[in-house]
Chain A
Amino acid sequence: MNCYLCDRVMTLQVTWRSIFFNEQGDVVCLRCQTEFERIKIGCPICSAVGDEKCLDCCKWENTEYAGLINSGRSLYRYNPAMKEYLHRYKFLQDVILSEVFVKVLQETLRNEKSVIVPIPMNEEKLKKRTFAQVDRLLDAAGIPYIHLLGKNEVGLGGKSKAERTALQDVFWWNGKPVPEKVLLFDDLYTTGSTLRLAAKVLKEKGAKEIKVVTLIRA
Chain B
Amino acid sequence: MTQLEEFLTGRIWLRQFIPFSNEQVNQAILNGSITVRLGIVDGKQCTRCLEKSPEKIIPFYCDACQKICYYCRHCIKMGRISSCTELITWSLPTPLPLQSHSFNWTGNLTPLQQRASQEVQKSISQKKDHLIYAVCGAGKTELLFSPIFEALNKGLRVCLAAPRTDVVLELTPRLRAAFPNTVIHSLYGNAPEENGFAQLVIATTHQLYRFENAFDVMIVDEADAFPYSYDLALKRAVDKAKKKDAPTVYVSATPSKLLLKQVSQVSQIFKRFHGHPLPIPTFQSLWGYEKVFAKDQIPKKLVDWVDQKIEKHEPFLLFFPTIELIEQAIVLFKHKYPAIEAVHSQDEKRKEKVMKLRRGDIPGVLTSTILERGITVPNVQVAVIGADQSIFDAAALIQISGRVGRSSEYPDGEIIFFHNGITRQMDKAKKMIISYNGGL
Contacts and interface: CB of A to CB of B under 8 A. Distances in A.
A and B co-occur in one complex: yes
Interface of A: 1-2, 31, 88, 92-96, 126-132
Interface in B389-428: none
A73 B104 CA distance: 65
B174 interface: no
B61 A92 contact: no
B249 to A, nearest CB: 30
Interface stretch (B23-31, B75-83, B211-219): B75-83
Contacts of B183: none
B226 interface: no
A96 B58 contact: yes
Nearest to A128: B64
Q: Which 5 A-B pairs have the closest CB atoms?
A: A95-B60, A130-B64, A93-B80, A127-B64, A126-B63
Given A92-B76, A92-B77, A92-B80, A130 B324 contact: no
B7 interface: no
Nearest to A94: B76
Nearest to A139: B61
Nearest to A96: B58
A2 B55 contact: yes
Interface in B314-369: 323-324
A96 B73 contact: yes
A104 to B, nearest CB: 22
A1 B65 CA distance: 30
B133 interface: no
B324 A95 contact: no
Contacts of B71: 93, 95
B99 to A, nearest CB: 37
B98 interface: no
User: How many residues of B sit at the interface, in one of the four size bands?
Assistant: 10 to 19
A26 B82 CA distance: 25
B64 A94 contact: no
Nearest to A8: B323
15 contacts: A31-B324, A88-B76, A92-B77, A92-B80, A94-B73, A95-B60, A96-B58, A126-B63, A127-B64, A129-B63, A130-B63, A130-B64, A130-B69, A130-B82, A132-B63
B62 A131 contact: yes
Contacts of B61: 131
Interface in B60-114: 60-65, 69, 71, 73, 76-77, 80, 82, 84
B63 A94 contact: no
A25 to B, nearest CB: 14
Provide the main secondary structure of the chain B interface.
Answer: mixed
A1 B324 CA distance: 19
Nearest to B85: A130
B229 to A, nearest CB: 10
Contacts of B73: 94, 96
Interface of B: 55, 58, 60-65, 69, 71, 73, 76-77, 80, 82, 84, 323-324
A95 B76 CA distance: 11
Contacts of A132: 63
Contacts of A129: 63
B76 to A, nearest CB: 6
Contacts of B84: 130
Contact of B63 (A1, A2, A127): A127
Contact of A95 (B55, B58, B65, B77): B58
A130 B76 contact: no
A93 B84 CA distance: 13
Given A94-B80, A95-B71, A31 B62 contact: no
Contacts of A1: 55
Given A31-B324, A93-B71, A95-B58, A131 B63 contact: yes
A131 B71 CA distance: 12
Contacts of A92: 76-77, 80
Contacts of A95: 58, 60, 71
A90 B106 CA distance: 51
Q: Which residue among B71, B82, B323 has the maximum number of chain A CB atoms within 10 Å of its CB?
A: B71
A126 B80 CA distance: 16
A130 B62 CA distance: 5
Contacts of A2: 55
A209 to B, nearest CB: 31
Contacts of B58: 95-96
A127 to B, nearest CB: 5
A194 to B, nearest CB: 20
Contacts of A126: 63
Contacts of A127: 63-64
Given A92-B76, A92-B80, 4 more contacts: A2-B55, A92-B77, A94-B73, A96-B60
A86 to B, nearest CB: 15
A151 B422 CA distance: 65
Contacts of A130: 60, 62-65, 69, 82, 84
Contacts of A131: 60-63
Contacts of A31: 323-324
A1 B55 CA distance: 9
A131 B84 CA distance: 13
A90 to B, nearest CB: 12
B54 to A, nearest CB: 12
Contacts of A96: 58, 60, 73
B327 to A, nearest CB: 9
B84 to A, nearest CB: 8
A126 B324 CA distance: 40
Nearest to B58: A96
A31 B324 CA distance: 8
Contacts of A93: 71, 76, 80
Nearest to B16: A128
A129 B84 CA distance: 12
A74 B88 CA distance: 43
A88 B71 CA distance: 14
Contacts of A94: 73, 76, 80
